[in-house]
Structure 1
Amino acid sequence: MEIFNPNANFNFLGLRRYSIAVAALLVVASIALILVRGFNYGQEFVGGVAVDVAYSAPVDTNDVRKTLIDAGLDNPLVQSVGGTRQVTVRLQPRDDHGLAGQTGVTGDEAASKVSDDIMAALKAKRPDATMSKKSFVGPQVGEELRSDGLYAVVFVIVGIMGYLWVRFERRFAVAALVTEIHDVLVTLGIFALTQREFDLTVLASVLAVVGYSINDKVVVFDRIRELFRSSRNATPEDVLNRSINSTLSRTIITSLFTGITMAALFLYGGPAVHGFAVTLLIGIVVGTLSSIFVASPILLWLGVSKQDLMPKSSDDASLERRP
Structure 2
Amino acid sequence: MAFRLKLVPDHTTIDFFRWQWLTFGISALAMVASVLLVLIMGLNFGIDFKGGTSIRTESPNAFDVGTYRQALTALDLGDVSITEVFDPGFAADRHVAMIRIGTTDATGSVTPEELTRIETALKAADPQVTFASVESVGPKVSGELIKTAFYAVGAATFGIMVYIWLRFEWQFALGAVISLIHDVLLTVGIFSLFQLKFDLTTIAALLTTLGYSVNDTVVVFDRLRENLIKFKAMPLIDVMNLTVNETLSRTIMTAVTTALALGAMLIFGGDVIRGFVFAMLWGVFVGCYSTVYVAKNIVLWLGVKRDWGKKEDDGPAGTKFADVK
Name the TM tier (shorter chain).
0.7 to 0.9
Indicate the structure with greater helix content.
1
Q: Is the 8 A contact 2:72 2:118 kept in 1?
A: no
Q: Is the 8 A contact 1:13 1:296 kept in 2?
A: no
Deviations along 1:114-154, one digit per CA (max 9) or x if unpaired, are 42343133211222234465332111111111110010000
Is 1:92 aligned with 2:96? no
Distance of 1:135 and 1:156 partners within structure 2 = 28
Q: Which residue of 2 aligns with 1:319?
A: none
Closer, same or farther: CA 52–32 of 1 in aligned 2, 3 Å: closer
Which of 27, 34, 58 does residue 23 from structure 1 map onto? Answer: 27
1:113-152 matches, within 5 Å, as 113-131=113-131, 133-152=133-152
Q: Which residue of 1 aligns with 2:47?
A: 43
Q: Which residue of 1 aligns with 2:76?
A: none
Deviations along 1:204-261, one digit per CA (max 9) or x if unpaired, are 1011111111111111101101111111321111110000111111111111111111
Distance of 1:274 and 1:168 partners within structure 2 = 37
Distance of 2:264 and 2:199 partners within structure 1 = 20
Distance of 1:205 and 1:269 partners within structure 2 = 15
Deviations along 1:173-231, one digit per CA (max 9) or x if unpaired, are 01001110011101111111111111111111011111111111111101101111111
Could you state the TM-score of these two structures normalised by the residue count of structure 2?
0.84
**Paired letter, 2:265:** L
1:244 counterpart SS class = helix
Q: Which residue of 2 aligns with 1:220?
A: 220
Is 1:247 aligned with 2:247? yes
Q: Is the 8 A contact 1:76 1:90 kept in 2?
A: yes
Q: Is the 8 A contact 2:52 2:137 kept in 1?
A: yes
Distance of 2:211 and 2:126 partners within structure 1 = 46
Closer, same or farther: CA 89–5 of 1 in aligned 2, 3 Å: closer
Closer, same or farther: CA 296–212 of 1 in aligned 2, 3 Å: same
Structure 2, unaligned runs of 5 or more = 74-79, 315-325
Q: Which residue of 2 aligns with 1:75?
A: 81
Q: Is the 8 A contact 1:43 1:90 kept in 2?
A: no
Distance of 1:66 and 1:192 partners within structure 2 = 26
Distance of 2:235 and 2:133 partners within structure 1 = 65
1:212 counterpart SS class = helix
Distance of 2:305 and 2:159 partners within structure 1 = 24
Is 1:200 aligned with 2:200? yes
Is 1:5 aligned with 2:14? no
Distance of 1:26 and 1:229 partners within structure 2 = 35
2:9 counterpart SS class = coil
Identity of aligned residues (%): 37
Closer, same or farther: CA 302–311 of 1 in aligned 2, 3 Å: same
Which of 30, 33, 38 does residue 34 from structure 1 map onto? Answer: 38
2:118 counterpart SS class = helix
Q: Which residue of 2 aligns with 1:300?
A: 300
Let me know the Cα RMSD of the aligned residues: 2.4
